[in-house]
Amino acid sequence: MTTATRTTATSILPLQIRNLRFVRDSRTLIDDLELDLGSEGLTMILGANGSGKSLLLRLIHGLLTPTSGSITWAGVPVGDSTRSRQAMVFQRPVLLRRSTAANIDFVLKLKKRFDPARRDQLLEQVNLLEKSRQPARLLSGGEQQRLILARALALEPEVLLLDEPTASLDPASTLAIENIVNATRDSGTKIIFVSHDIHQAQRLADDIVLMHAGKVVEHAPISDFFSAPVSEHAQGYIRGDLLT
């Protein structure tokens, strides 16, 4: 089944978040957050450190449980049925101590879809086919992150969640990751991408979610966000102000 067919036939989108709160150690980290995301394109979540970006991603994927409020995918609460149709990539790659190819094989076997041709296709997609027999731990940082992306794509996710996947990479490696992300979005996969890089948002995003102090302070198409920001926080963020 292709990504486009899966998305059309049995979509878990849109995503709807209502009155979301998350409290840890008596601190409110997500505060009465509201957000609606559609089924297409790349949504970029921006905000300063500590604004709640990565925390929100973990909540909508179901890795954390909200203190209150609701998160639903096409009306279905977050749970195993929704999480199994998503894949998440973190800032720091976590790889199996196996070969590059074996890292992909593991996921394909887990999903009962083992196919050497599919594995090689994924490795070629991220430009790692020539290093398929090399231990994954010997890959460069950028190569490891590309392998993590290939492993995520092996799950054939409807939604791909990316938590600052290029934060510690050099420009060439960042460009390679962005090219893969663009191709994935163009194939019909919904992408929710957390970043601290406003220029990356300009290169990749279809819509922008700006967070501040655990709230969404602006959500707009990219053209509107940069040309006509509504909130004072968005205006200041675009200027480069230090937001407190």
CATH classification of the domain holding 69: 3.40.50.300
Question: So what's the pLDDT on residue 3?
Answer: 41
Q: What is the pLDDT of residues 197-206, one digit of tens each?
A: 999 999 999 9
Q: What is the pLDDT of residues 170-179, one digit of tens each?
A: 999 999 999 9
- Write down the residue that tokens 């996969």 correspond to: 189
Whether 145 and 26 map to the same domain: the answer is: no
Domain residues for the domain of 118 are: 93-156
Q: What is the pLDDT of residues 140-162, one digit of tens each?
A: 999 999 999 999 999 999 999 99
Whether 125 and 237 map to the same domain: the answer is: no
Whether 152 and 167 map to the same domain: the answer is: no
User: Where is the domain boundary, 139, 156, 173?
Assistant: 156
Whether 137 and 171 map to the same domain: the answer is: no
Question: So what's the pLDDT on residue 240?
Answer: 86
Contact 54, 46 (CB under 8 A): no
Indicate the average pLDDT of the chain.
92
Whether 227 and 171 map to the same domain: the answer is: yes
Question: So what's the pLDDT on residue 9?
Answer: 55
What confidence tier does 93 reach under pLDDT thresholds 50, 70, 90? confident
Q: What is the pLDDT of residues 187-222, one digit of tens each?
A: 999 999 999 999 999 999 999 999 999 999 999 999
Q: Rounded to an integer, what distance in angstroms lies between the CA atom of residue 173 and that of residue 198?
A: 18
Whether 244 and 167 map to the same domain: the answer is: yes
Output the CA–CA distances (angstroms, integers) from residue 14 to 46, 165, 166, 172, in the order listed.
Answer: 20, 24, 26, 34
Over residues 122-136, the mean pLDDT reads 96
| pTM attached to this predicted model | 0.92
Q: How many domains does the chain have?
A: 2
What confidence tier does 94 reach under pLDDT thresholds 50, 70, 90? confident
Whether 67 and 100 map to the same domain: the answer is: no
Whether 98 and 59 map to the same domain: the answer is: no
Contact 59, 108 (CB under 8 A): no
Whether 138 and 205 map to the same domain: the answer is: no
CB atoms within 10 A of CB 214: 22
User: Where is the domain boundary, 111, 141, 156?
Assistant: 156
Question: So what's the pLDDT on residue 113?
Answer: 85
Over residues 70-76, the mean pLDDT reads 95
**Residue 1 pLDDT more than 80?**
no
Whether 241 and 170 map to the same domain: the answer is: yes
User: Where is the domain boundary, 156, 174, 193?
Assistant: 156
Output the CA–CA distances (angstroms, integers) from residue 1 to 6, 110, 157, 189, 190, in the order listed.
Answer: 6, 18, 12, 13, 16
Q: What is the pLDDT of residues 21-70, one digit of tens each?
A: 999 999 999 999 999 999 999 999 999 989 999 999 999 999 999 999 99
